[in-house]
Structures are given as structure tokens and as C-alpha cells.
């Protein structure tokens, strides 16, 4: 009997944690650009008050309803032991769940294309997600992320500090976008022979990206690709016309309003320009299908010179072309399955491959004050796109010897000073140069010091921006600046 009493006594001393761990208190807050706006909060159909408030809630999924002055929003939100608070923006109808967890989290994007009501394509940190809104992005890590939407005339984006699950409305991307100023974007172009936006692809091919992104737009399709092509159109049927003249027809079915949808598996087995034809077989758009190009030494890439700290993969892999000099670019040309394309023209620069599938090009980077880089290959001038999806990054440079003479430069404002000896001061490990001499490279930071009433900067202490590089050797002090890649 004593043993039983002892056991009961011990059990009575154990905290009954189960009574408390199935729920927790969370903060529910609201924000708005209108000071007077409030948000009334309901949970599972029961109004619990107006934000801000603190509410004890059980773990699991609950239906939250927020009613603001302009919009109402209802979302199912999962409450777990990491959940800290929920913030609702009464104007943008954005709901942000903050959490102590490190993720990964989900971002739900709702809304519609304000022009044609067929959806935007979604990019996360400049990488195409393969989704159109409305959609949910899963596996998003904690921290700052950029979401970009490519639509029919505007390309809204937003930077987010992700601390938990997010529920975004289109209004949260751009509160002053075309919702207030509707435009029928289908008449955006005035050349009637090329009626814009009669066909919009969900993913590939890429066409009609407006406006700055057009500088780095490529169809994304390579010779040998077999792709299920899907999208929306205002046409009952349309055609792809291959470079050889072969036609592939796309049938469509009703989708929404005047829009129709289509899906068809297509083999892109020819190189060159593919024309898009309407029901009357009249061309209204086009895109290009090329081979895939892989850089080979001695070709330099942007990441080799400038690093990759602030660039997307495409820009990091771009061919680096030195302005004012002849550059050797060596490429391996392959098909979609990475098979070398031997002894064939590549569809650009009047050039072709050898029996190994390699093409070697002499590329002259233009030396001018234009902030956007350009180059010439075999008399053909190029800009941001080098070949297919391979970009080109033209860069300026100035190289000093350790005594302060300019050994070479592509910077116009330094050209006439090639015989000048610039003052360089050495103090311990620091190398001081007149700030005005290197101002064209947009260098910021670093220790400064005044010598003879002139400001000098210790170039070895500068942390270069992503588009700038500083290389210091025993013989030289070198500065490099990447020209802009998107006009």
C-alpha cells in the first residue's frame, strides 16, 4: 500500500504539461498606409477583436478572416510551436506569419493579370519557378528574397524579408499599378503586322518581354528540345513555321473571356527563326532557336573577374569582354542533349564549328563612354546577348604601375593622361591614390586621407561593388568596371 501511495505522490508532482502545450498565445497586428484604418479579426468564424491583439489559440490549421476598410482577406494559417505573430496589411491585403523556425517557408501569391486576366509568370530571386499566379512557392529559406512577375506590359517585383509563411496579393507588389489606370495591352504595338500578345506562353518559348528585360530575352529553346508548349491565346488556332517552312498547328479551347488555352508537345529540331502565324497564316511574331554554347578557356566569364556575389547565374556565366581590345572567345556548341555540333554553322557571326564542335571567335569590345557595353564579331555588332542564352559583359579597365603611370586604359577621361605620373602614397600596408583618378569606377568606402589638400583613398581597403574589381600585384594596380547589361 505504501508503494502505491508513493507512486501517486510522484505523479502528482509532475507538471501537467500536456494541458498547456497544445496551444499558445500569438500577436495579431495590422498595418496600413492609412492611420485610421483598422482590421477586425475573426478566427474559425468567430470575431475575436480588432488588431492589435494577443490571442491564445490551439496548434493546427485555423481560418483567419481580416476585415479592413478597403479589403477583406480570409486565409487558412497553420499555428505551430514556432509561430510568433501574424501581421495583416489592410491596403495590400498581405498576411505575414512570423516564426522562430528557420524554415523552409511557403509564399502564396494570389491575384490576376490586371490587363488580360490570365496570370503572371513568377521568378524567385531571378530564377524562373515554372509557375504562374495564383501559385504557392514552397521551400523558401529564411531571409531576403525577390519575387518578380512578368506580365503583359508591367513587370512588378517586391523584395521580402521572409520570417515565416507569406500570403501576397497582387496589390502588395505595386499599389499604384494598372488597377487604377486600365489599359488594353493587346494594342500596345502600333504595327498591325505584329499584333502583340496574341499568344502568351506559360514558360517557353520566351517572347515579347517588355521593356528592359528584352535586352536579355532569348526564347530559351535549343535545337533538339522536345517541350510541351502551353499558354493562352486570343486565336482559335495558330502555327509555328519552322525555318524549313514546315508548319505545326496549335489547336485551342476556351479558357476565360476571349482567351483560349493550348498545350502541345513540340520537337524543335531545326536551327533558326521560327515564325508564328495566325489563322490566316499571317505572321504576327517570331522567336529564335539556336544551339547551346559552353565557354571554354581562354574565354573569361564575368564571375572570374568580378565574382558572383550579386549576380544571377546567367550574368555570372556571361562572356567577359575587355573594352578596346581583341578578345578570344572559344565555345563548344552542343544540342539540347549536349552532343557536339560538328562542322556546322552556328547561326550567327557567319561562323561555324570544327570537327570537335568548337568555334573560336575574335571579339572586339567597343571602347566608348556608353554605359551599355557592345562588341563586334566579324563585322556584326552585338550587345547584351552574345549567342542564344549566353550573355556578354563588356568591361572597362585602367592599369597603373606601382609608380603611378597608366600602363593601359579604356576610360576616355584618362586616355589623354597616359604620360602623366599620378601620385601614389604608401603608408604601411596601405596604398593611397587620388580619389579623382579612380572616380570613374564608382568605388565607395575605404580609408581616406588628405595629402597636400587633396583627398586620397587607400585602394587596398576598398570593398568593391559587384560590378567592380581591384587587383593589386607586385607590379600593378588594376581597376575593372563592368558596363551595364540591361538598357
Does one domain contain both 409 and 325?
A: no
Q: Does the residue 166 lie in any domain?
A: no
Among 394, 417, 441, give the residue marking a domain's end.
394
Judge whether residue 17 has pLDDT over 90. no
Band (39; pLDDT cuts 50, 70, 90): confident
Judge whether residue 34 has pLDDT over 80. no
Does one domain contain both 1 and 62?
A: yes
Q: Does the residue 124 lie in any domain?
A: no
Q: Does the residue 173 lie in any domain?
A: no
Does one domain contain both 80 and 2?
A: yes
Does one domain contain both 371 and 443?
A: no
Does one domain contain both 451 and 418?
A: yes
Average pLDDT of the chain? 82
Does one domain contain both 262 and 302?
A: no
Does one domain contain both 404 and 380?
A: no
Judge whether residue 437 has pLDDT over 90. no
Q: Does the residue 178 lie in any domain?
A: no
Range picked from 3-7, 219-223, 481-485 for highest mean pLDDT: 219-223
Our CA dihedral for 311, 312, 317, 323, rounded to 10 degrees, sits at -40
Grid coordinates in use for 203?
A: 514558360
Judge whether residue 191 has pLDDT over 50. no
| pTM over 0.75, yes/no | no
Does one domain contain both 382 and 476?
A: no
CATH number for 243: 2.60.40
Q: Does the residue 476 lie in any domain?
A: yes
Does one domain contain both 435 and 450?
A: yes
Q: Does the residue 237 lie in any domain?
A: yes
Kindly state the DSSP code that residue 305 receives in the 8-state scheme. Answer: H
Among 289, 315, 338, give the residue marking a domain's end.
289
- Please spell the DSSP secondary structure of 284-334, one letter per residue: EEEEEEB-EEEEETT--BHHHHH-STT--HHHHTSEEEEBTSEEEEEEEEE
Which residues contact residue 17 at a Cβ distance below 8 angstroms, ignoring those fewer than 6 apart? none
Does one domain contain both 354 and 331?
A: yes
Band (189; pLDDT cuts 50, 70, 90): very low
Domain count, the chain: 4
Band (6; pLDDT cuts 50, 70, 90): very low
Can you name the residues that pair with 238 across neighbouring β-strands? 250
Q: Does the residue 466 lie in any domain?
A: yes
Judge whether residue 12 has pLDDT over 90. no
Does one domain contain both 382 and 454?
A: no
Q: Does the residue 188 lie in any domain?
A: no
Band (61; pLDDT cuts 50, 70, 90): very high
C-alpha span between 97 and 121 (Å, rounded): 24
Query: Looking at the chain, how many residues does it have?
Result: 487
Question: By the 8 A CB rule, do 263 and 308 touch?
Answer: no
Structural domain boundaries enclosing 324: 292-394
**Residue-level pLDDT at 411:** 82
Q: Taking Cα atoms as reference points, which of 369, 359, 360 lies closest to residue 394?
A: 369
Rg (C-alpha) for the chain, rounded Å, is 30
Can you name the residues that pair with 328 across neighbouring β-strands? 362
Band (36; pLDDT cuts 50, 70, 90): low
**Residue-level pLDDT at 70:** 62
What burial letters (b/e) apply to 179-203, b meaning 16+ CB within 10 Å?
A: eeeeeebbeeeeeeeebbbbbbbbb
**Residue-level pLDDT at 185:** 31
Band (340; pLDDT cuts 50, 70, 90): very high
Tell me how far CA of residue 288 lies from CA of 227, 275, 349, 356, 389, in angstroms.
15, 9, 15, 24, 11
Does one domain contain both 367 and 435?
A: no
Measure CA of the first residue to CA of the last residue in the chain; give whole Å: 89
Among 352, 372, 394, give the residue marking a domain's end.
394
Kindly state the DSSP code that residue 461 receives in the 8-state scheme. Answer: G
**Residue-level pLDDT at 377:** 95
Amino acid at each position: 500500500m505504501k508503494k502505491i501511495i508513493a507512486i501517486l505522490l510522484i505523479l502528482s508532482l509532475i507538471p501537467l504539461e500536456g494541458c498547456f502545450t497544445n496551444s499558445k498565445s500569438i500577436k495579431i497586428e495590422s498595418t496600413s498606409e492609412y492611420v485610421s484604418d483598422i482590421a477586425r479579426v475573426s478566427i474559425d468564424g468567430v470575431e475575436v477583436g480588432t488588431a492589435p491583439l494577443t490571442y491564445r489559440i490551439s496548434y493546427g490549421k485555423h481560418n483567419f478572416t481580416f476585415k479592413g476598410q478597403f479589403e477583406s482577406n480570409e486565409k487558412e494559417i497553420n499555428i505551430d510551436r514556432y509561430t510568433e505573430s501574424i501581421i495583416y496589411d489592410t491596403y495590400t491585403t498581405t498576411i505575414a506569419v512570423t516564426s522562430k523556425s528557420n524554415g523552409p517557408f511557403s509564399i502564396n501569391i494570389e491575384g490576376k493579370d490586371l490587363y488580360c486576366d490570365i496570370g503572371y509568370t513568377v521568378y524567385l530571386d531571378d530564377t524562373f519557378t515554372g509557375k504562374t499566379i495564383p501559385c504557392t512557392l514552397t521551400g523558401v529559406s529564411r531571409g531576403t528574397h525577390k519575387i518578380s512577375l512578368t506580365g503583359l506590359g508591367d513587370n512588378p517585383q517586391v523584395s521580402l524579408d521572409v520570417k515565416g509563411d507569406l500570403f501576397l496579393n497582387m496589390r502588395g507588389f505595386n499599389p499604384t499599378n494598372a488597377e487604377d489606370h486600365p489599359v488594353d495591352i493587346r494594342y500596345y504595338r502600333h504595327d498591325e503586322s505584329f499584333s502583340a500578345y496574341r499568344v502568351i506562353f506559360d514558360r517557353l518559348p520566351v517572347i515579347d518581354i517588355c521593356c528592359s528585360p528584352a535586352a536579355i530575352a532569348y526564347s530559351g529553346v535549343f535545337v533538339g528540345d522536345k517541350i510541351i508548349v502551353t499558354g493562352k491565346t486570343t486565336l482559335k488556332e495558330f502555327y509555328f513555321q519552322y525555318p524549313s517552312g514546315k508548319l505545326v498547328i496549335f489547336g485551342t479551347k476556351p479558357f476565360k473571356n476571349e482567351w483560349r488555352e493550348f498545350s502541345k508537345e513540340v520537337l524543335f529540331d531545326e536551327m533558326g527563326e521560327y515564325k508564328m502565324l495566325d489563322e490566316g497564316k499571317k505572321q504576327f511574331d517570331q522567336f529564335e532557336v539556336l544551339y547551346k554554347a559552353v565557354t571554354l578557356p581562354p574565354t573569361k566569364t564575368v564571375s572570374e573577374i568580378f565574382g558572383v556575389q550579386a549576380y544571377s547565374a546567367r550574368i555570372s556565366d556571361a562572356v567577359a569582354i575587355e573594352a578596346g581590345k581583341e578578345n578570344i572567345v572559344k565555345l563548344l556548341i552542343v544540342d539540347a542533349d549536349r552532343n557536339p555540333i560538328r562542322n556546322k554553322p552556328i547561326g550567327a557571326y557567319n561562323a561555324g564549328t570544327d570537327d570537335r564542335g568548337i568555334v573560336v571567335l575574335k571579339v572586339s569590345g567597343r571602347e566608348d563612354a556608353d554605359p551599355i557595353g557592345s562588341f563586334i564579331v566579324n563585322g556584326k555588332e552585338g550587345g547584351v546577348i552574345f549567342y542564344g542564352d549566353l550573355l556578354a559583359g563588356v568591361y572597362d579597365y585602367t592599369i597603373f604601375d606601382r609608380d603611378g603611370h597608366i600602363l593601359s586604359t579604356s576610360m576616355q577621361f584618362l586616355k589623354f593622361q597616359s604620360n602623366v605620373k599620378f601620385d601614389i602614397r604608401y603608408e604601411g600596408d596601405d596604398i593611397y591614390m587620388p580619389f579623382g583618378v579612380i572616380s570613374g569606377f564608382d568605388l565607395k568606402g575605404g580609408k581616406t586621407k588628405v595629402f597636400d589638400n587633396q583627398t586620397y583613398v587607400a585602394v587596398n581597403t576598398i570593398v568593391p561593388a559587384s560590378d567592380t574589381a581591384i587587383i593589386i600585384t607586385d607590379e600593378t594596380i588594376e581597376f575593372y568596371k563592368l558596363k551595364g547589361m540591361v538598357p
